[in-house]
Structure 1
């Protein structure tokens, strides 16, 4: 693993996945990777939640990872992979709370009514987000506070020379500078808005 995302879901992680793959750091692991192979990958993360992570097996075939579940394990991954670089994808806490509340929060809170094949995945997602103090039925203000607490903890844990704090609106330049690669002659990826989020979920059912 060369690059690990410590930013929570709904901070431009799907665009960052596309960017890292464009820059040669793919394949990039994302929650979508779990959704597409739940029988294999959900047990990986349940083991990690129980303190029995096998990072080599979990990330086999991948050179980078972003989004949840990975972001909840930045402490463990920093220790286990001392040569990896970390990217804290971010946005304003209020805008994150609104985006999370209208997407992931709804999906996870209603997990008991989800199709049976998705319930183990959603139970795992619920446990993973809880590691970041993000729980069911939180107010926007409480969500924004949890978001800020997570970011402060990442910055306090990951040495500054290994960490890039990055917003998608900054484009390629800071990302490429951090990774030591050339800036592509094309726009930075923009994908997975709220409607696309639900389309990805539908494809996984």
Structure 2
């Protein structure tokens, strides 16, 4: 099994809904941050990646057909070379909407993680992520202008580096049609998955810190 789909969009751009949609379309299992949280064996791969050591990308994504969300989205420039036949789905949403969602979930979590009662594996995972892609991606993830600048830069880099015939700029609000057309699969006779509102995000960690 090898990656057929690479997701390059930041977290909070509809990546959980996209994961569910891809799995429904037959492109599963789909790698997502949840997979890292639920599988302690994943941490060794991402520790090596965070240290910028060479890795076998086939091993990192062994068992997965597709990938969306961080941490995979932080290495799309490497994975698009490692899996040259994979299509790229770049999830986006309006900058203001993305910042509001990111600031009230991911950014807030990283700000408060040290004071939260987390299982050891979850604590270790996010300590790794905060010292790696969060630090390398955002000059200051708590500052609106800095965060949006990083978001905007990633969106542009994907457009600049990925050939148009390999790339789908995807807004989950558009539903099944553009995704199925890009992947050349039939449109399901069901509603497009909707998932991961703010309360669902915090449920993974027990509660939202005050």
TM over 0.5: yes
1:41 alignment partner in structure 2: 42
Contact 2:90/2:169 (8 A) holds in 1:
yes
Q: TM-score, normalization: structure 1?
A: 0.93
1:173 aligns with 2:177: yes
Structure-2 separation of matches of 1:100 and 1:11: 9
Deviations 1:20-72 (A, max 9, x none): 0000000101000011113x112211111223222111111110010000101
Structure-2 separation of matches of 1:159 and 1:29: 23
Contact 1:93/1:145 (8 A) holds in 2:
no
Contact 2:25/2:185 (8 A) holds in 1:
yes
> What runs of 5+ residues in structure 2 fail to find an aligned partner?
none
Stretch of structure 1 that moved more, 124-133 or 141-150: 124-133
Q: Tell me, what secondary structure is at the counterpart of 2:102?
A: helix
Deviations 1:129-183 (A, max 9, x none): 333236443x222211211111001111111111100000100000000000000
Stretch of structure 1 that moved more, 11-20 or 108-117: 108-117
Q: TM-score, normalization: structure 2?
A: 0.91
Q: Map 1:21-36; keep pairs closer than 5 Å.
A: 21-36=23-38
Contact 1:72/1:131 (8 A) holds in 2:
no
Number of aligned residue pairs: 201
Q: Tell me, what secondary structure is at the counterpart of 1:202?
A: coil
1:56 alignment partner in structure 2: 58
> What runs of 5+ residues in structure 1 fail to find an aligned partner?
none
Contact 2:140/2:146 (8 A) holds in 1:
no
CA drift at 1:116: 5.9
1:151 aligns with 2:155: yes
2:22 alignment partner in structure 1: 20
Structure-2 separation of matches of 1:15 and 1:157: 25
